[in-house]
Amino acid sequence: MHIPDGILPLAVCGAGYATTATLTWYSLRQIQRRPDPHAMVPRAALLTAVFFVASWIHIPLPPISVHLILNGLLGVILGWYAMPAILVGLFFQAVMFQHGGITTLGVNATLMGLPALLAYGLFQLRFVLHLTGRFATGAVAFVAGALGLGLAVLLFYGVLVATIPANLDVATEQAALTLIALAHIPVVIIEGILTTLVVLFLLRVKPELLTDNAPVGATALLSEQG
Amino acid sequence: MPMRLVLLALWGALLLMPAGASYAHSVSVEHTLETVIALAATYDSGEPMAGAQVTVYAPNDPTTAWHTGTCDEMGRYRFAPDPALPGTWTIQVRQAGHGKTIYVEVGSSTTPATSAALVQVGSAAPYTLLQLIVMGGTVVWGCIGTALFLRGGAADAYS
């Protein structure tokens, strides 16, 4: 689901870089405001490696094969750190393995980073909605993990359908895009389950990993709930 | 008498028949040697890009499609570039937002040739498996090294 070089018009690539720059700047600003901005960098580095490797895991769904993205998981675990982690991971995937592209790095980072941040926001909603029990946390994690990839697929589909060149058979290309979008439905569910499993595991062994990336207000709410 | 006239008329018609008509069942075969570019497009998983759309741009106009076509079930496509247009031909193979652009040099030489190009989408085709593992390992180790470096509080020394 990485858009390679030569597929999108230059203006769209430029807009992708602009949105990625804005999202990254805002994320770094939020990170800088934390009491210890360095504290979560090791975790972000490790999950960058996981994100980098995940795209090698292909799931054959004839007639095509798809691969894991894990942007929702990164959003849930890393919060604002997810955006720079995804950007770095995509950069290495494009430079070393031509998976994606340099001109489309901005677009790809927005397609995967923005849903990751929304997944983070959704996961933090559990504090507001008082869904902090084990079952409720797992359910919210599933929705957040699935939303991360689901939204990325919708953005991928929307960007590519809107920019099909006139010299191509538009109906054929649109049908192929619809097929690849539908083929991601099982992956959306798989990533939701994976996110749930990771969150439930962390909840058991080291629950602070799920709360130390929460906004200050949410943490206070959690401590009030005891 | 009438019979003799009929035979005479038939003989005359035979003589007056155009010469070309007497070769109606013959075959003319001409041949020219052409440069052909043969593509084989696959995804990085090895699956052929069946039905992928091919767009060809000639060297003299890299913005207007010179030729368009569709790959077969095995992801193969062949076309003959115009020998009057030597230079770099741009070929894009695309399907469902995935694709690759390759550049094939067609010389001005009159010697015909078949140029075979493997279009492998989304992959690092030139690398061996060992190279891929080493390259991937360096990135993963870079991330782990960063994590280990900052975990021990080393960041405080540099902040």
Rounded to whole angstroms, how far apart are CA atoms B37 and B113? 9
Number of domains in chain A: 1
- Say if B19 falls within a structural domain: no
Q: What is the pLDDT of residue A79?
A: 93
- Say if A14 falls within a structural domain: yes
Q: What is the CATH number of the domain that holds A186?
A: 1.10.1760.20
Q: What is the pLDDT of residue A59?
A: 77
The range of the structural domain enclosing residue A174 comes to 10-225
Q: Out of A15-19, A98-102, B120-124, B138-142, which region has the weakest mean confidence (pLDDT)? A: B120-124
- Say if A3 falls within a structural domain: no
- Say if B29 falls within a structural domain: no
Q: What residues of A are in contact with residue B53 (Cβ under 8 Å)? A: 168-169, 172-173
CB–CB contact A7 B94 (8 Å): yes
A98 touches B: beta carbon within 8 Å: yes
- Say if A180 falls within a structural domain: yes
The range of the structural domain enclosing residue B63 comes to 36-146
Exposure string of B23-34, with b = 16+ CB inside 10 Å and e = fewer, is eeeeeeeeeeee
- Say if A1 falls within a structural domain: no
Q: Average pLDDT, stretch B100-107?
A: 85
Number of domains in chain B: 1
- Say if A208 falls within a structural domain: yes
- Say if A64 falls within a structural domain: yes
* A44 close to A78: Cβ distance less than 8 angstroms: yes
ipTM given for this complex: 0.70
CB count within 10 Å of CB B8 equals 10
Q: What is the CATH number of the domain that holds B73?
A: 2.60.40.1120
Rounded to whole angstroms, how far apart are CA atoms A35 and A33? 6
Q: What is the pLDDT of residues A135-176, one digit of tens each?
A: 999 999 999 999 999 999 999 999 999 999 888 888 988 998
- Say if A5 falls within a structural domain: no
Rounded to whole angstroms, how far apart are CA atoms B54 and B101? 10
A4 touches B: beta carbon within 8 Å: yes
